[in-house]
Each structure stands twice: as C-alpha cells, then as structure tokens.
Amino acid sequence: MYEVELKVRADHGPVRERLADLDARHAGAVVQTDTYYDAPHREFAETDEALRIRRETPVEGDGQAYLTYKGPLVEEESKTREEAETPVGDERAAADLLDGLGFEPAATVHKERDRYTIGEQTVTLDAVEGLGEFVEVERAVDSAEAIEPAREEASRLLVRLGLDPADGIRTSYLGLLLATENVDFSE
C-alpha cells in the first residue's frame, strides 16, 4: 500500500470554513503520541525510513496503539511512501519487543488531529506541539500506477480548500522538529 500525501502549513480557521462549504464529513478528532525508533542495523535518517509506535486516543473513548513502518519517499512531488501498519494490543510489549531487537526510542511527536473526508480523500487538520498548524490531504492506493492520479486529486482538493500545493512540505513532523531542535527525547 502507498500513502499519497500532500502537506502544507496553514491556519485551520479558513480551512474549516472551506470544508463546511464542500460538505466534508467530519471523521473524528484524536490525540496522537508517536514514538520513533532508531534501528541498530541502519540509519533511518539516511535511508528516509521510519519506525514508530503510535498511541491514538479519540477525544471521546479508549485509545489504540499501532506499529508502523514507513519506507523512503517514492516521488519528488509529494510525501508518498510505502507504509505498513498494524494495531498493537499491548503497547508496552511492542516497545519491549523493539527494545529487545536493539531498536531504541529516538524522539516523540505529539499532535492533535481533526479528520474530514471528501470522497476517497482524508483531510487532516494537525496541531503539532512545537511546530504549529498543518493541513494534510491523503489517500491510500494499492499500486504505483495510482500514485500520480491520487496526487493530482489531492492537489486539486488543496486548491479547493484555498491552499497552494506549491507550498507543500515533504519533511515529516519528526524531521521538522529535529530541524528546530524542538523534539521530545524523554519518552
């Protein structure tokens, strides 16, 4: 599976108004805490990969943890990459498993996410601790041939939301936080 994603820095107020005008369906709000890991056998920063445990807690309800691997970016125009993710029943056991294999926690990213759907696309309004507000438009596709049409569709949606796809950011939130030295290494 490929995650085709366009991300821009944007004030959420005007975007929420546009989402209402487009009859977007609210898909829920969550708080996420992502703990990223370094690998003992290669440098993820050099290979442009990521391994994380994500704790996702809905504004109302119980949380769920996920183990996620993100491969290197596959194109220049977006944050598209192969992704594998699975729910984890016991977050502590997953962390212990990674620790036992030599993976070490590298950094933690905290964010609040508010999700909307329009057709097959998800629009996410992110408030990232230490960075500010962002908007992501994304869609999962099954084949490499579907990446370009999905990216073009995401670009058109950004324009409909009053945003400029040329302002796209390909760097992950972790990368942006590391660049500002505003990342939490305590967890």
The CA distance from 69 to 46, in Å, is: 15
Q: Specify whether the CB–CB gap between 177 and 183 falls below 8 A.
A: yes
What amino acid occupies position 91? E
**Does residue 69 carry a catalytic annotation?**
no
Name the residue range of residue 50's domain. Answer: 2-180
Is a pLDDT exceeding 50 seen at residue 119? yes
Chain centroid offset of residue 34 CA:
10
* Per-residue pLDDT tens digits for 61-103: 789 999 999 998 888 878 888 999 999 999 999 999 999 999 9
What amino acid occupies position 79? K
Q: Specify whether the CB–CB gap between 123 and 17 falls below 8 A.
A: no
* Per-residue pLDDT tens digits for 11-33: 999 999 999 999 999 999 999 99
- CATH number for the domain harbouring residue 117: 2.40.320.10
Residue 176 belongs to a domain: yes
Q: Specify whether the CB–CB gap between 80 and 73 falls below 8 A.
A: yes
Residue 75 belongs to a domain: yes
Residue 173 belongs to a domain: yes
The CA distance from 138 to 146, in Å, is: 13
Q: To the nearest whole number, what is the mean pLDDT of the chain?
A: 92
* Beta-carbon contacts of residue 96 (< 8 Å; ≥ 6 apart): none
Residue 187 belongs to a domain: no
The CA distance from 146 to 174, in Å, is: 27
Of the pLDDT bands very low, low, confident and very high (cuts 50, 70, 90), residue 187 is very low
Question: Considering its fold, how many domains does the chain have in total?
Answer: 1
Q: Specify whether the CB–CB gap between 43 and 49 falls below 8 A.
A: no
Catalytic residue among 2, 36, 37, 116: 36
The CA distance from 52 to 171, in Å, is: 16
Residue 120 belongs to a domain: yes
Residue 186 belongs to a domain: no
Residue 178: per-residue pLDDT: 84
The CA distance from 71 to 82, in Å, is: 5
Q: Between residues 1 and 60, which one has the greater pLDDT? A: 1
Alpha-carbon dihedral of residues 126, 127, 129, 130, nearest 10 degrees? 100
